[in-house]
Structure 1
């Protein structure tokens, strides 16, 4: 273990993660999870440093590039990929990590450049960083009054096309609040498995393991946790006492109106949070079919089913675009939490904002409509379809629901009786709710409840 620590530093691990995410376009949460699993032997402090450095560098990448371009003779997009990412993460330490001495950030960057075979560019790395440290006031940011879109893009590190898209759907103050919320400290949100343990007992157990715990915002079985090292090391997790799930996602189960004995189909279920929640709400009765398109996704659902210990749920590999004749008009409830642009969860997956395009958004709207066309057939007459996404893009949300009710024999149904009073609004009475970061204490999320007509 000691030898491994001497061979590779926390900063070198972070650089490898950034290269994998930025250069190979791999998902940030997947790369982070895989790498931290690989380096479980690291001290809690080192793992926290790697996490903060990587997540922070990705979420602030456009801001960091904007600053670097004002100090470097070579523009960021012309740099060698490794040098570009090394400068980004080093600048992040200088600008956003107050506990890291500037000298340490600079010196370690130079060492890393040499170690990774770029000794000839170590002087360049040193020069750029030292110039920034010496004269931090040189940076000139866009004027918020005269360059609103460019200001939001640079300050909140969001591509300018996406800023314009947000502003076409929401007012400036709201968009700014949403973007600010993406930088807030991220706590892990969990749902207590009340079949196995009470919320109070789970709270005590977690605190005994030195985990900081707070109640959730909206639901009595939701908790916020932080200050743990590795989730998989917690006995409460291994025993299935809780499932990681944002409260916005829990609300799907909460508003479903599930009744004892119901048959439920979750068509795009991985990693299985909603399926598991509904299995719990069924209180050992009924059945949940938890479906997804690949073996890998279904394996993930199965891991969670096994850990949580539910017996009224089964996972299947099923393509939601292909009609399952045997399921037609069989389900009391169909959960359609469909593939989306993910623009409600950029605080957790910041690479989404750089990889999304307008064309991808339009393709996703079509995909959502194609899936809905198929899976709505599984709902019994008088049954319920719950449509949800983790995006704030109106085209994928309310516009899709309006399209759906125009083309199929469904009507929206009020969700007021299932919501906490703090979430009641004009739209919840109509049958849908749009949760927004910075306004609600959740991910950006959309839920619509639709009743099939008899």
Structure 2
């Protein structure tokens, strides 16, 4: 059966919160909205819900999105209450005697599940094309990888070492009953023992940590930055990795955080202020001239490029329903274009890191190989690359390649 969320399984169902889940599912699948934004909206419009109700709605929506294909295969109809009821029964729960759940027979649902449980694409609740692509590109590792990516993500913190040590933050949170553990191999990471809304804790408002998956934390570390360096984060988004770089540089030097979307960089400014970071300069990429002006100006360049996001399905399960083979092919074109054009910003002797949150070789090592075989790529050498699979790390799937620009 489906993975169980322990506290959900013992909960009594209430009409208002079930209605909230159903409304969210309608928005996500019938109006093509993003799950995180929909959940945020639903919770905001029901301020009287307590923490338990809010947790129930958020987790139920995410789990239904995660297992959408399987639920639809097993449900007797496409009615949204029937789909919720099917999901609830698959968790091993009993349904209340509501008119919305009439026509749902637990025995028939279990029988239907038994019929399809050996069909991997249905059981793992992914599109057929994705199952085929994953199998072709990852071979025997695919079965375990997609199984791991269907598990709920842990909440991982990145300690802001500009303000506190990892041990200090662990102690501070423990004083308020928040237990954490330090995973091996991730020197700035803490994992919450129990999922909860950590953003309301005073330590977050004080800038003592950011929420960032452990695999993602490997990216900034790969750049080998030092205080005083000039660093460009060329696909910075909301600035999570720029903030990590600033901490590793002890807030000394200069980081140019760039993105084609100016609104994303506004978040970078706010987060930098909270983190006590002063060396980040947000800069919008307006056209190719923005890149040309920075030619051979950076000691380090980070290319955390747009990707399919297949390595982060644990936390973004709706991604698999929005992707297509065509969209993945399109993003591969963007990745190679960024490699070709943005690599010019690296000084001779400087380092460049190419990273994705994808597990597909076609977005990862094959892109690096293609770049190195090109005219512009001949100026670089691959020092090392790291393929992080979720099944091996326990965290998100990632790819990180470290390249050096040859001395001219």
What TM-score do the two structures reach when normalised by structure 2? 0.90
The 5 Å alignment of 1:298-447 reads 298-319=265-286, 323-407=290-374, 408-414=377-383, 431-447=384-400
Match of 2:164 in 1: 197
Counterpart among 124, 137, 150 of residue 111 in structure 2? 137
Alignment of 1:86 onto 2:81: yes
- Within 2, Cα distance between the matches of 1:34 and 1:377? 42
- Within 1, Cα distance between the matches of 2:48 and 2:173? 22
Alignment of 1:220 onto 2:173: no
Q: Contact conserved, 1:57 with 1:92, CA < 8 A, in 2?
A: yes
- Within 1, Cα distance between the matches of 2:117 and 2:184? 36
Count of residue pairs brought into register by the alignment: 392
Query: Deviation of residue 217 (structure 1)?
Result: 3.7
- Within 1, Cα distance between the matches of 2:113 and 2:391? 28
Counterpart among 92, 95, 100 of residue 103 in structure 1? 95
Counterpart among 59, 65, 68 of residue 66 in structure 2? 59
Match of 1:126 in 2: 102
SS of 1:26's equivalent in the other structure is coil
Match of 2:123 in 1: 155
SS of 2:228's equivalent in the other structure is coil
Measured against aligned partners, the alpha-carbon deviations of 1:46-90 in whole angstroms (never above 9, x if no partner) come to 11111221011000011111111xx45xxx4xxxxxx2x332222
SS of 1:344's equivalent in the other structure is helix
What is the alpha-carbon root mean square deviation over aligned residues?
Answer: 2.1
Q: Contact conserved, 1:240 with 1:308, CA < 8 A, in 2?
A: yes
Q: Contact conserved, 2:117 with 2:123, CA < 8 A, in 1?
A: no
- Within 2, Cα distance between the matches of 1:40 and 1:239? 25
Alignment of 1:19 onto 2:26: yes
Measured against aligned partners, the alpha-carbon deviations of 1:124-144 in whole angstroms (never above 9, x if no partner) come to x511x2x23566335443474
Structure 1 34/266 Cα, relative in aligned 2: closer, same or farther at 3 Å?
A: farther
Query: Deviation of residue 95 (structure 1)?
Result: 1.1
Match of 2:8 in 1: none
Structure 1 142/89 Cα, relative in aligned 2: closer, same or farther at 3 Å?
A: closer
Q: Contact conserved, 1:189 with 1:216, CA < 8 A, in 2?
A: no
Structure 1 248/228 Cα, relative in aligned 2: closer, same or farther at 3 Å?
A: closer
Structure 2: give runs of 5+ residues left out of the alignment.
Answer: 1-13
Structure 1: give runs of 5+ residues left out of the alignment.
Answer: 1-6, 77-82, 111-121, 145-150, 415-430
Q: Contact conserved, 1:64 with 1:88, CA < 8 A, in 2?
A: yes
- Within 2, Cα distance between the matches of 1:135 and 1:264? 56
Q: Contact conserved, 2:215 with 2:396, CA < 8 A, in 1?
A: yes
What TM-score do the two structures reach when normalised by structure 1? 0.81
Match of 1:258 in 2: 225
Alignment of 1:46 onto 2:53: yes
Structure 1 452/196 Cα, relative in aligned 2: closer, same or farther at 3 Å?
A: same
